[in-house]
Each structure stands twice: as C-alpha cells, then as structure tokens.
Chain A
Amino acid sequence: MEIILAPIVVSVISSVLALIIVVVDGVVNNYGEVEIDINDSKRNLKVKGGTPLLQTLSSQGIFVPSACGGRGSCGACKVKVLSDVGPYLPTELPYMSKEELKENIRLACQIKLKKDIKIYLPEELFNIRKFKGIVESLKDVTYDIKELRIRLVEPNEANFKAGQYVQLVIPPYENIKESTQRAYSISSSPSDKNHIELLIRLVPGGIATTYVHKYMKEGDVVEVVGPFGDFYMRDTNADMIMVAGGSGMAPIKSIIFDMWERGITNRNVWYFFGARSKRDLYYLEIFQELEKKWPNFHFIPALSDPLPEDDWTGEIGLITNVLDKYLQNIIPAENPKEGYLCGSPGMINACVQVFDKHGVKDVYYDKFA
C-alpha cells in the first residue's frame, strides 16, 4: 500500500503545481496581439506576443541574418529598435559597440515581444527568403573544393546581387544533433535565377563542409536562406582589382560574369587568383576564354609553390607579391581603383596592406569567418 501511496502523492502534488504553473503562464505570458512597425509604418505586422523578435520576424517571412539560430551566441541579428523595449540584457552587451549602444541596436533573438514595437530594418532584408531546392549537381573542382549547384524549387526564383552570400541549412547528421547554418557566397550569376551555385572547400572537422563533402548527394533536398551581404560591385568607373584564393573564387566569379552579361565591359578588371600549386587551380579555362572575348578583363592566376610536374609558366609567388608587382609596374597608376577581396582573413589583411601602400582606399572584402 505504502509503495503505491508515495508515488501517487508526489505525482498528484506535482501535477497540481504543474497545472497552476500552466494557468499562470497562460495568464501572465499572454501578451495578446502585438504590432511590429517596420521602417516608419512601411510594413506593419500584427503578431502574437510573447516570442522573441527574431523568431517572430522569420515566421512572417523576414529573415534577419543569424548564424546561431537565436541562441544569442553569434551576435549577428542586430536590429535598430526605435521604441522602448527595456534595458539591455547581459546576453546582448558583449556584442555591442559604444556607437551601437547609443543607437539602441539590439539583438533580435533576445528581445521578447511584450508590447507594440517600432524597428528599423535595411530594405535588403525584405528580399531575404528561405528557399527549398534540389541538389542538381555536386562536382569536384579541385581535390578539396566542391561545386554545389542547387535548383530552386520553392520559391523557384532568387533575386540577388552578384557577390552576396546565402546560408546553407545543414540538417542534423551523425553526432551533430542540431540543425546548423553556414554562410557561403554564391558563385553563379544573378541572371540564372532558378539556380544557386556554391563553392565549398572541405575544412577538416567542419560541420557543414564535412556534410557537403561526405554525405550530400545529387537529388537531395536542401534549404538556403538569403541573400545577405554588402559585397557587390560598386557603381563607379574605377578600375576593379579583384583578389581571391581557394573558394574565395565564388563571389568574384559571380561579379565578373554578371558584369559581362550586363555589358559593363568598359571598366578595367584585374582578377588575381592565388593558389599553392596547379592542383588548387580551377575554372582556368572559363576565365581564359572570357579574357579573349573581353579586352578590358585580365586574369592573373599565380602559384606560390608550383610543383616541378606542374610545368607552370604563369606568375609565381605569394599573391600579395604578384599584386604588388602589378600595381607597381603594369596597372596604369593614374586611374582610380577599387579593391575587391575574398579569401582567408590572413590573405585579406595582407592584401589590404598592399592596397594601402599604393593608395587604393576603396577596398571591399568578404572574409571567411
């Protein structure tokens, strides 16, 4: 008797208390309908209160960039809040600079919607969507870089600027229990609205790259969120000096082919691509072909450690040295110049120094993080 009595008593007491909690939760956390006013009433959303701003916006089809999915660990989902939503939380403070604190920039994942709120979002964000697609092809372009081509299904068209990136959604696999998202630049050109191509280099131990290289196969259903980013061609007449290494090829390729397709061929474009040896080079033919058709386009692949069997006759040396040499002797000094860089942080920092030395101030880059 006693054996049954004890668990019954504990369970009954617990259930009564749980019931009370549920009732209180329903009463206390019922914030009713809340209105989100975006960009001075340009868009008004009426939503159910009580959930964080980030999730609420994404359920309404507005995707604020977030790498961690709302756990407050990446600090990417910054949003300017114009109405009072209470003091900063300790979880937000580490990601905020002094200027951002002054402007009341907040982390969207940490703000719980309790009352009407006014926020400001950059216009580009309204263009961001979640796309469902099918892996149309997955090819090795070098021994460690794969070209992933996705045919978009729902929605089946994407409007992006050449140079922007998307976040690829990686489902849970093996020991990885949670779905993750990683950012990759789009390498295909914006005119091909039904497809998105990404270049993905295998990073040992990387969650997303391992998945793409070892598990993904043609015909898989994949999801991408995008487009994001402000790395794209600036509308000027300056000469464009572009530098990339490895899978940094992606946004640069997109920008160059976009320019060619749209007939922006009056600008001088210099594209430096750095690799270690010949086995790291790819897409050589397509750029060499373009060079023949487009007189103002110059493609300069450079190898830092060519192997004897490579039989390499092109530029040799670190990409920074090659860039330095060209800026010094070959590229006309009198023209205004813009730098476009994509690659590892080390490469970008070194290149920015070279640009600095030659007085090129307008440098845009897309750093792998």
Chain B
Amino acid sequence: MMYPDINPFVLFFASIFTSNILLTNFLGMCSFISISKDIKSSNGLGIAVTLVTTITTALNWLLEKYVIIPLELGYLRYIIYIIVIAAVVQVLEMVIDRVSPNLYMVLGIFLPLITVNCAILGVALFMQLRNYSFIQSVFFGLGSGIGWWLAIVLLAAIRKKTENAPVPAPLKGVGITLITIGIMAMAFIGFAGMINVR
C-alpha cells in the first residue's frame, strides 16, 4: 500500500489552517452555529470534538486496515465508523461527567450530539479516501479537531463583538453569523496554496 508522501507535521498544520475542516469543507456546521454564542461552551465543545476526532480516527484507521480491507467490507464503512464514534462519545461522556461535572454541564446536550457531528465522520472518511498512514491519520485527526476548535472559538469571539454592532434587523442572529463564517472561510482559504495536502 502506498501512503501519500506528506510529513505528518505539515498535515497537522495544514488541517488546522489551510484546509480547516469547518471553513473549507463546511462540516460540523450545526453545533458550530448554535454553540458559538458563548466562548466558554465553544471552548468545551472544541476540546470534546478534538478528543473524539483524534481517538476515532485512530480506531477507525485500525479497523479499516485490519477488518474492512481484508474482509472487503467497504460498503459497511459508514456504519462501522459511526458505531465507533458513538461508542467513543459514550465513554467520553461518562469520563467527563466524573472528572469535570462543570464541563459536563456546560456541554449539556451537545456532548451526545457530537456523535452526529459530521466533521468527525468527515475526518475519518477523508483519512480513508486519501489513504493516510496511521501516524498521518492521527495527526490529521488531531489537527482537524484543533482546527474545528480554533474556528468555533474565533467565531464565538467575533459574535461577542457583533452583539452590540448595528446589524440590519433582517440579518440579526443566524444571518450575520453565516456572513461572518463566509468571510472567515475566505480568510482561511486564502492560505490554501501554501501547503497542499490533497
């Protein structure tokens, strides 16, 4: 099997900045928009997404290599990935509840909802599609998670600023948020040529 010739560290930084999973692929928008009202919860959700993405990417890579490919079960890929993500979220939920009840409370309903955060499934599928090695996958997963985390905290900070801005009435709320995201995406994509990870 041939792995693409990319330094894992390059991949790590690329997935944070130049090909941010949120701002270039627009994955994981639902919780991105609804949670970014508040920096503290954004931060918590960012941590949770980063953790889940890293762990599930690694687990799914192993399953891909040792179960799915040898048994030719490519058509079960989505189901297997999702089951793994759901289980990891479940475990993480119990651990966070025990270790940090405050964080658990802040995340509330969004913690179980990470299961259906498409950024996480997206990362796993990209990793498979682009044929990354194990190390590359882990760095890619970690980078994408941090990228998602960075994006949501940035958006939360910007939304805090626009709260008191004279936004035209019809654009208040989600409207101006979507425009903000669009401008953020342009800024991030502006660096896309610097490192090519495809």
Which A residues fall within an 8 A CB radius of B? 2, 5-6, 9-10, 13-14, 17-18, 20-21, 24-25, 28-29, 86-87, 89-90, 114
Residue among A5, A6, A14, A24 making CB contact with B83, cutoff 8 Å: A14
Residues of A within 8 A of B87 (CB): 17-18, 20-21
Instruction: Considering the complex, give the chain A residue whose CB is closest to the CB of B104.
Output: A86
B67 and A9 within 8 A (CB): yes
CB-CB under 8 A from B73, the residues of chain A are 5-6, 9
Which chain B positions have C-beta within 8 A of A24? Answer: 91, 94-95
Asked whether A13 and B108 contact (CB < 8 A) given A28-B94, A28-B98, the answer is no
**CB proximity of A111 to chain B, nearest CB, Å:** 11
Residues from chain B with a CB closer than 8 A to the CB of A89 are 105
Distance from A83 Cβ to chain B, minimum over Cβ atoms (Å): 14
Query: Per-residue CB proximity of B72-107 to A under 8 Å, as 1/0?
Result: 110110011001100100110011011001100100
**Cβ of A43 to closest chain B Cβ, rounded Å:** 27
Q: Which chain A residues lie closer than 8 Å to B97 at the CB level?
A: 28
Task: Give 3 closest A-B pairs by Cβ, nearest first.
Answer: A17-B87, A28-B94, A28-B98
Contact sample, A vs B, 18 pairs, CB 8 Å cutoff: A6-B75, A6-B76, A9-B76, A10-B79, A10-B83, A13-B83, A14-B83, A17-B83, A17-B87, A18-B87, A20-B87, A21-B91, A28-B95, A28-B97, A87-B105, A89-B105, A90-B108, A114-B101
B75 nearest in chain A by CB position: A6
Measured between beta carbons, the chain A residues less than 8 angstroms from B72 are 2
Least CB distance from B33 to A in Å reads 20
Is B71 engaged at the interface, CB distance under 8 Å to the other chain? Answer: yes
Residue contact A13 to B84, C-beta cutoff 8 Å? yes
Of B91, B95, B108, most A-chain CB atoms within 10 Å? B91
Q: A5-B71, A13-B63, A24-B91 are in contact. List 20 more A-B contacts (CB 8 A).
A: A6-B73, A9-B73, A9-B76, A10-B76, A13-B67, A14-B83, A17-B83, A17-B87, A18-B87, A21-B91, A24-B94, A25-B94, A28-B94, A28-B98, A29-B94, A86-B101, A86-B102, A86-B105, A90-B105, A90-B108
> Smallest distance from the beta carbon of A231 to chain B beta carbons, Å?
37
Chain A: minimal CB distance from B104 (Å): 9
Number of A-B contacts defined by CB within 8 Å: 51
How far is A213 from B76 in the complex, measured between Cα atoms in Å? 56
Expressed in whole angstroms, the minimum distance between the Cβ of B96 and any Cβ of chain A is 10
Evaluate whether A21 and B90 lie within 8 angstroms (CB atoms) in the complex, with A6-B73, A13-B84, A89-B105 already known.
yes
Given the interface pairs A5-B73, A20-B87, A90-B108, the reply to whether A13 lies near B95 with Cβ below 8 Å is no
Give the residues in chain A near B63, CB-CB below 8 Å.
Answer: 13
CB distance from A15 to the nearest CB of B (A): 11
Which residue of B76, B80, B98 contacts A29 across the interface (Cβ within 8 Å)? Answer: B98
The residues of B that contact A10 with a CB separation of less than 8 Å are 76, 79-80, 83
Specify the chain A residue showing the minimal Cβ separation from B92. Answer: A24
Q: Which of these, A5, A17, A86, contacts B84 with CB under 8 Å?
A: A17
8 Å CB interface, B46-89 against A: 63, 67, 71-73, 75-76, 79-80, 83-84, 87
Residues from chain B with Cβ under 8 Å of A86 in the complex: 101-102, 105
A14-B108 Cα distance, complex, nearest whole Å: 25
Neighbouring B residues of A21 by C-beta, 8 Å? 87, 90-91, 94
User: Cβ of A20 and Cβ of B91 under 8 Å apart?
Assistant: yes
Which residues in B have their C-beta under 8 angstroms from that of A20? 87, 91
Chain A residue with Cβ nearest B63: A13
Interface-central residue, B63, B72, B94, by most chain A CB under 10 Å: B94
Residues in A with CB closer than 8 Å to B79 are 10
Best-buried of A2, A6, A9, A20 by chain B (most CB within 10 Å): A9
CA distance A17 to B108 in the complex (A): 23
* Alpha-carbon distance A17/B75, docked complex (angstroms): 20
The residues of A that contact B95 with a CB separation of less than 8 Å are 24, 28
Min Cβ gap B143→A in Å is 25
User: Among A5, A13, A18, A90, which residue has its beta carbon within 8 angstroms of that of B80?
Assistant: A13
- Near A by CB (< 8 A), chain B positions 105-139 give 105, 108
Q: Which residues of B contact A14 (CB under 8 A)?
A: 83
